[in-house]
Structure 1
Amino acid sequence: MSADAPEHQPGVAPSVDPSITPSAPRTQRPGVVSGQARRTGGRRSADNPHVDVSRKPKHRRTSTEPRRRELLQALGIFQRATPDQLWKLTRPGNRHDRLTRDNLLDLEDHQLVRIESTGEGQRQVWVLTKRGHGEAKQLLEPKGIRVSVLRKQEYDPDTGELLGTGYDDHAAAVTSTAAELHRAGIGHRLGFQTEIGHRLGSGFVQRADLVVRAPEAGVPVLLVEVDRRTEDAHELVAKLRRYWEWGRLLPKDADKSKVDLVRSRPDAIEHVDHDKRLWRRFYPPTGREGLVPVAFVFADTTAAKVANAVKVLEGAGRRYWAPRRYDSLYEKAVTALDYRQAVPVVITTLEKLQEHGADAAVWRRLGRDGEQTLTAALDNPDGHALYRAQEARAEAEDERRRAAEREARRPVCSRCGRKFSDERWEEITVHRTAVRAGHKSVCGPCRADDVARQEAAADAARLEAAEPPEPQDVPDPDRVRGWFRRRN
């Protein structure tokens, strides 16, 4: 050390020139050069004087207004989606999703959508921007369709990474299920709703993953629960129970007599028509017996796990989905089942929907063997229509049997051998007429002959009694007088 240098004092930190102080490592946010503060005011004209920032970008040649509107509506409902899902939700008739991707890029140029993340296989997940979310509201809210929550673009203050970019596998499975249904012609993108709550009497809200309204396809309403086997099978039974309980609730403005009736007996709600219940305030008639149908769609799981879940649903949830026997006078003749208080439950997997299509025979109804199409699985061929037919046939057969037994007991006339008529049979049977029925062993015509003979004899007797007596021989008065003449 030089002699001219100041002596270092112990315990005192030496001064350091700021120009040579090593800077702490710092990670900048995307699009920000190191050492430059992030701008919050947007782009300025001074950044590039050769570019007119006020000029709006032109639409791409392959982009059309209807397609852009469809994409905004789909993202407004499902919040996040891939180009493949949006293709099936908007234009499933196209052979591929290239036009969908072109329209997404066009919407991105107009700052209506953005890429939130890129997953495996370069799968891009698109969401609405704040501006696009506002336009989606204008398209959906006038139609009474709820718009999903805006996915805000927020960054981690320390790392600068974009937050909330993970595309939840469950949400992806729900969107894929809706896409496959729409691709098969079951429902319209405006007929889908996600995370719809159903409030129970206890205050608990059971939210359906997807609500499908497809009256044109024979499915007026369907509640869809998507399960990736992350939930216990008994939790699925609990969900089914909650839907069953919600279907048995009365609205708040229900008639007081019905409210008192339901409170008096637990099963009294079964005597209240479905049109008077709460669920009819939210959903249209299903067109079939029973409550609102529920579909369990399993995704990203094995066949063994699906079979185990179905076994638990069929066993522990039997009270909620199983039909009952009709209380009929013809118990042996009526085999139809009463579905009026049951929740129709159908089962399938997302892989089957993607491989065969939602309109194929890939749906299984709890309590049945084999797979059917969705409408066939929801129908009740052994339900009320069969009950009415069997009841009518049993009643007609019972009437024929009783008529045959009555005919076998019909009396036979002891005089002419003919069977009694219904009138004559009733005449000799009913007490008030039996005393005047005459001989009970003769039929009506023979009895009429007897009555006719009796009346003829009576008439003859009356005529005979009414005729004057025949005149007797009267002597001549003069002659008589001559006999007793006094002689003078």
Structure 2
Amino acid sequence: MAKRKANEAGSSTGLRADVLRALGVLKAATADQIQRLSSPHLTYRHTMKKTPAKRKEARTASHRGALNDLRRHGLSVDGGRTRGGEEVRLLTKDGLAAAGRELDRGPEEMGGMPKSAGRSGASHAMTVNETVIAMIRPKPDLDLVAGEPAEAVAAAQAAVDAPDGIGTITSYATEVALPSTGTWKNPGVGGAWADIVLIAPEAGLPLLFIEADNCTEEAPIIAAKFDKYLRHFHRKAKDTDGHEKPMWRTRWSAPDLRWGDATHPPVLLVFHQVGKRSALKQMERVADLTREHWQGQWAEGGFRVYDGKMPIVATTLELLREHGPAGPILALRP
């Protein structure tokens, strides 16, 4: 086995790679979020520290060291602090390229930087990250928790026994352009940017788009994003075989239905109750404003036809954290 190289802040090369992969997907994240994704067993260590702050400081120490090493090498920069006071780290251009190598993704596959990156709080980017974590539900290696207090071991066992999440960090991408004009690499004005794209065919999800909202935006603004999604879904492009097909199919694989309704890819809308607007009311309002996109047409025989419609599923981050992606949903369209 190759010897792991230690860096200036004490992090191993392997740990730096884990951090690069996480930041390459999330783009802006805290050490706590990166630790929960890449080393979930550490959540169940240091539980005897007196305060939550001291426990967090201890369990994230190695990841903060790795982030400091990345900063020394010009691969990351400070991105301000969250509203809770945690440091946010961003990748530089060189850091994004290094993360792309770790993820085996080209520059056009890496996605853009979050719009709120570097701003005070970066609340939307943090909600996107928490949505990814809630979807994955990283499980600890119980062998790495052996010897910890009984309560910590029991909590780790409960996490292992809980319903599985979907995919790993490499199954996800964030801030992905869905151009209605321009190209994948240089999208034109007016296209959508998906908060999250999940590719997990092994879980029966060849392609899922995810949007996160902090209950701060007006419902018409959220609904307008689905208009942009449909403009992208309707766009055609020639594939490498010379045949024209929906542009999204030139990048992602999904079953091409030979029978039944030919719907567009599904979108999951996740509300986080940060703002003053009620998540449930937001769902109801957005559902009403996007009805033309998801509601099927009645056909003879008393059933609906959903050709050309966009399935929209809605839930809250709280439900997603508690039950995982297989848990309850609050709206399903169509």
In the alignment, structure 1 residue 234 sits paired with structure 2 residue 231: no
Query: What is the aligned partner in structure 1 of residue 166 from structure 2?
Result: 186
In the alignment, structure 1 residue 366 sits paired with structure 2 residue 333: yes
Distance 1:199 1:129 in 2: 24
Q: Which of 62, 66, 69 is equivalent to 1:102?
A: 62
Relative contact order, CA 8 A, sep 6+: which one is greater?
2
Distance 1:187 1:181 in 2: 8
Query: What is the aligned partner in structure 1 of residue 247 from structure 2?
Result: 278
Query: What is the aligned partner in structure 2 of residue 337 from structure 1?
Result: 304
Q: Deviations over 1:16-75 (max 9, x none)?
A: xxxxxxxxxxxxxxxxxxxxxxxxxxxxxxxxxxxxxxxx85674xx5443321111111
Distance 2:265 2:247 in 1: 11
Distance 1:124 1:208 in 2: 25
Distance 1:325 1:211 in 2: 31
Cα 1:90–1:57 change in 2 (3 A) is closer
Query: What is the aligned partner in structure 1 of residue 35 from structure 2?
Result: 87
- Describe how 1:7-406 pairs up with structure 2 within 5 A: 57=7, 60=10, 63-92=11-40, 94-96=42-44, 100-109=60-69, 111-112=72-73, 113=76, 115-128=78-91, 132-133=95-96, 135-140=98-103, 142=105, 145-146=109-110, 164=118, 166-183=120-137, 184-200=164-180, 204-251=190-237, 276-285=245-254, 289-301=262-274, 305-326=278-299, 331=301, 335-362=302-329, 364-366=331-333
Cα 1:186–1:363 change in 2 (3 A) is farther
Contact 2:215 2:277 (8 Å CA) reproduced: no
Cα 1:179–1:287 change in 2 (3 A) is farther
By how many angstroms is 1:178 displaced?
1.1
- The amino acid across from 1:198 in the alignment is L
Q: In structure 1, list runs of 5 or more residues that go unmatched.
A: 1-55, 152-162, 259-274, 368-488
Query: What is the aligned partner in structure 1 of residue 49 from structure 2?
Result: none
Cα 1:245–1:79 change in 2 (3 A) is closer
By how many angstroms is 1:173 displaced?
0.8
By how many angstroms is 1:255 displaced?
11
By how many angstroms is 1:177 displaced?
0.9
- The amino acid across from 1:85 in the alignment is Q
Q: Deviations over 1:227-251 (max 9, x none)?
A: 2233221222222222223222222
By how many angstroms is 1:208 displaced?
1.2
Q: In structure 2, list runs of 5 or more residues that go unmatched.
A: 1-5, 45-55, 138-163, 182-187
By how many angstroms is 1:314 displaced?
2.9
Q: What TM-score does the superposition give when structure 2 sets the normalisation length?
A: 0.68
By how many angstroms is 1:209 displaced?
1.4
Cα 1:233–1:126 change in 2 (3 A) is same
By how many angstroms is 1:319 displaced?
1.6
- The amino acid across from 1:80 in the alignment is A
By how many angstroms is 1:346 displaced?
0.4
Distance 2:40 2:306 in 1: 36
Percentage of identical aligned residues: 27
Contact 2:222 2:286 (8 Å CA) reproduced: yes
